[in-house]
Amino acid sequence: DAKTTQPTSMDCAEGRAANLPCNHSTISGNEYVYWYRQIHSQGPQYIIHGLKNNETNEMASLIITEDRKSSTLILPHATLRDTAVYYCIRRDYKLSFGAGTTVTVRA
């Protein structure tokens, strides 16, 4: 019973926008969606979170569908340093991260 579903991997050209989808069809009404990324073998880094409205910060934008069953993380101008594993998670007492999406930004 996966809490979130993400594609295993995706490629992106440097300078282009990277759109990372996440499915969370069983999310409840007051539950946030969180995004993290893990570069190489470092500890994961928080990116952004959202509930209903779209959110933007200095790192990325988060678009949440009106029914809240899915969301998309947008890296507006991907750089080589954005190559990482990206995790979409929900609040859960286990707070476990699934396998995430491995994003490779190519020059």
Partner 1 sequence: NAGVTQTPKFQVLKTGQSMTLQCAQDMNHNSMYWYRQDPGMGLRLIYYSASEGTTDKGEVPNGYNVSRLNKREFSLRLESAAPSQTSVYFCASKQDRVLEKLFFGSGTQLSVL
User: Applying CB under 8 A, which residues contact partner 1?
Assistant: 32, 34, 36, 41-46, 49, 87, 89, 91, 94-100
Q: Which is nearer to partner 1, 16 or 56 (CB)?
A: 56
Tokens 């890296």: give the residue: 75
Minimum distance of partner 1 from residue 26's CB (angstroms): 17
- The span from the CA of 95 to the CA of 42, in Å, is 18
Minimum distance of partner 1 from residue 87's CB (angstroms): 7
Q: Could you tell me the CA-to-CA distances from 50 to 34, 68, 89 in Å, in that order? A: 7, 10, 11
Minimum distance of partner 1 from residue 64's CB (angstroms): 16
Beta bridge partners of 63: 72
